[in-house]
Amino acid sequence: MCGIAGKLVFDPAARVCEGDVLRMIAPLAHRGPDGRGVYLDRNVGLGHCRLSIIDLSAGAQPMANEDETIWIVFNGEIYNFPELRDRLLSKGHVFRSRSDTEVIIHLYEDLGLDCVNELRGMFAFALWDSKRRRLFLARDRVGIKPLYYCQTGKALYFASELKGIVADPEVSRDLSYNALRTFLDFNYVPGEDTLFKSVRKLLPGHYLVAERGQVAIRQYWDLRFTKERWSKPFEEVVEELHGLLGSTVRDHMIADVPVGVLLSGGVDSSAVLSFAVQGTDKKVSTFTVGFDGDQVVDERPYARMAAQRFGTKHHEISISAEDFWNFLPAYVWHMEEPVCEPPAVALYYVSKLARNHVKVLLSGEGGDEAFAGYPNYPNMMRLERFRSALGPFARPVGAVAAFAGKLSGDDRVERYGAALGRSLSSHYFSRTSGPTAFFNQNAEKFLTREFQESTASVSPAEYIGGLLNAINGESLLNQMLYVDSKTWLPDDLLVKADKITMANSLELRVPLLDHKVLEFAASLPTEFKVKGRETKRILKAAFARVLPPEVLNRKKAGFPVPYETWLRNGLKNKIADVLLSERALSRGYFQKAAVNRLLQADARNGGYAKEVFSLLAAELWHQQFVDAAPAAGRNAAEAGTTASFVSAGMKAGAGRL
């Protein structure tokens, strides 16, 4: 796990200097505190900061082949590298290390751009082929590892984090108002866009090639649903899945440093733990987090139960509303874009605890997206069956139900009626962005006219509809899983997983998002994943023999950060000070009266915590990435409160960049 960055100037007579590359990797130091390196070849420069996990003595980067005609900087882990290495050795390739990084170089020598198809793992890399004068960037299939790029008329820039790119003074920091509007709709920014017009995300399952002044992007993998296991008995497939997950988790245990497990107390993380203890002869450390205060769901008893069952060395931490508030500036700095993901705060504190004991953590992230673990999946399936039965009467029946629910004050009936009247894409957008899709539905009342006029016509339902059309003809469940794998998973959950753990120089691995596991899940019939109200059916069956029933059958919770209560009570005045400040309102996005009404409504009745948190994240993002220089972040993250963060950021200034 590392940070990578670099620059290719299109003019072959130009020169990239070491300072250019060092400037880009400086803001990524938390990703790789164990070393840094730079490679220069006239108009190209590659930079790397290393978190050493495999081959601690000989795995330094940038790394080259024997004749130093091919160089690479790599972030991630390739779990099938031992077998690939053996295959390449049998073909006569000469290795100078035991690292997975070197395997990519020699695989590229054999297969060229198609080498990505052989890699099993999480990765983002930049490979420089000096003979062809070709720069090759690639990102893993699911988007576990981030990779940003910027193409100007003069150069191509890339980095593991957005901060690395905007560190170059030649890169424009002009704000994308369309992306900001999209964030307000989705609570994150899906797809290629970022909040800077000039910087884009390389999509999961894609690679980029820059050669002879031309830049091309290609997709090399997509999630495809098959019927490979539709004719097999359920019990037989359960055994097959059990074996696949066992081997996958064992592969994810490969490391030359201590490995632990992030334990939420749910099925997925407990299942990962059950295999992790089989994949090592050392005692496994587990880590979980709880929250101070009343009326808070506490995961710790279930985590302790799983830890006791598998004999781990268990560690816990508890956080408070004050801890939550103090971390928010650093949260925004590390996330780099305003993502509404409060559980990231819990992840930060528990990964900070873990870093005192291990360098690698395994997580159960992804089980819900692979095997349909969210209750919304069966809810949507029932809704669509009802809508189909009503036929052309669905819309008028829905309108009557919505009106009746509104009159009676029954929110559930009102929402259900409204859902009957929507298209699938419109309702699924509403499902993923919150019950009310507040900023989308209340744009005229909440957003200023100037902000609305500065953004192009954005239709979130059309965006979702385009993804649904890409797999038209698939079952409703598969359509929903596909949409989530293209939006919510890479642009929210995995952003959190990577950037917040890397904030503590800790590598997080997600075995349930191994592409072989995803392809297995995509080959199953619907009833193997969802049957009636039961979700994640086959995954639960695969672990019924090893997990405590209390863990296996409990209601899904995850890391249930009680941020709604905190925002409504102890933090409400602090939030109002930020969102109603002259500084925030002068940006010209939101109407002051509307912001005030929203804060009052949430403080009085609740229900708007996600919207309030989104506004707070957006404002803190502006303070750090627009008002102050991005280089201020590391010092600012240590400064504590929002006020001291801004002060520290302004004083640190642009000189460090």
Quote the DSSP letter at residue 556. P
d(CA 185, CA 188): 8
Residue in this structure with the two tokens 């079952």, named with its chain if needed? 475
Phi-psi region of 112 (alpha: psi -120 to 50; beta: other; left: phi over 0): left
* Phi, psi (deg, nearest 5) at residue 630: -60, -25
Sheet of strand 148-151: strand arrangement? 36-41, 44-50, 2-9, 155-159, 148-151, 200-201
In sequence order, which residues have a C-beta less than 8 Å from that of residue 358 and are 6 or more positions away? 257, 258, 259, 260, 285, 506
Tell me how crowded residue 260 is: count the other CB atoms within 10 A of its CB. 24
Report helix angle 321-335 to 343-354, nearest 10. 90
Angstrom CA distances, 398 to 405, 423, 434, 585, stand at 10, 12, 19, 38
* Phi, psi (deg, nearest 5) at residue 124: -145, 125
In sequence order, which residues have a C-beta less than 8 Å from that of residue 648 and are 6 or more positions away? 632, 635, 636, 639
d(CA 222, CA 454): 34
Name the token pair of 102.
Answer: 């070197």
Query: Which candidate, 201, 198, 189, 192, places its Cα nearest to that of 159?
Result: 201
Tell me how crowded residue 410 is: count the other CB atoms within 10 A of its CB. 14
The secondary structure element, H or E, covering residue 520 is helix 515-521
d(CA 288, CA 354): 9
For residue 570, the SS3 value is coil
Active-site residue identified among 2, 49, 150, 340: 2
d(CA 360, CA 265): 19
Query: Which candidate, 156, 158, 150, 160, places its Cα nearest to that of 196?
Result: 150
Q: Is 2 a catalytic residue?
A: yes
Provide the annotated active-site residues. 2
